[in-house]
Amino acid sequence: MNSKNFSIAFDVDQSPREVFNAVTSVTKWWIEKIKGDSTKLNDEFSVQFFVDVHYSKQKLIEVIPDKKVVWLITDSNLSFLQNKQEWTNTQVVFEISQHGDKTHLEFTHVGLTPTIECYKDCSNGWNQYISSLYKLITTGKGEPEKMVEETQQQD
């Protein structure tokens, strides 16, 4: 099935509140530095991986505390792709639910399907970062992408 969006799910012992707080703490599991805010409805933030590998800007278009967070990617530049804006207008969805004594988190990147160029590299990246989010939730310490100090001036 080639139209299936990339998705990862897992269960943890932590509460929906703890999972929600971890999801919105982007700098603790995805990338150490962001520009903007990532916690409430209409917040916008951008990420830059290295100097020119991956840039994307996200807007929080749905935020239901302890239940759901949705980012709309409003701009992107992935330098390693033919279509450098392949992520633009895709959505990143975090759905949180209680199942007995466990909290279930389902991550879906809507628009990241096997039919697009970025699928292999981007799904591998998301596997790494969602593993980091899992570690943040379960141990209190994620493994966000470290920013390499640049020797060139960016301004």
Q: For the whole prediction, is pTM greater than 0.85? A: yes
User: Looking at residue 66, what is its pLDDT?
Assistant: 97
Give pLDDT tens digits for 62-73.
Answer: 999 999 999 999
Strand, helix or coil at 135? helix
Give pLDDT tens digits for 91-121.
Answer: 999 999 999 999 999 999 999 999 999 999 9
User: Looking at residue 11, what is its pLDDT?
Assistant: 98
Instruction: Parse the chain into domains and list their residue ranges.
Output: 6-139
Residue 112 is classified by DSSP as -
Strand runs (DSSP E) across the chain, as ranges?
6-12, 35-36, 44-49, 54-64, 68-78, 91-99, 102-110
Check whether 55 has a pLDDT greater than 60: yes
User: Looking at residue 49, what is its pLDDT?
Assistant: 87
Give pLDDT tens digits for 11-38.
Answer: 999 999 999 999 999 999 999 999 999 9
Q: What is the CA radius of gyration of the chain?
A: 15
Percent of the chain predicted with pLDDT > 70 = 92
Give pLDDT tens digits for 128-155.
Answer: 999 999 999 999 999 999 865 543 434 3
User: Looking at residue 42, what is its pLDDT?
Assistant: 97
- C-alpha closest to that of 53 among 145, 155, 153, 151: 145
Alpha-carbon gap, residue 20 to 147, rounded angstroms: 25
Class of the CATH-defined domain 6-139: alpha beta
Tokens 């929906």 correspond to 16
Task: Give the chain's length.
Answer: 155
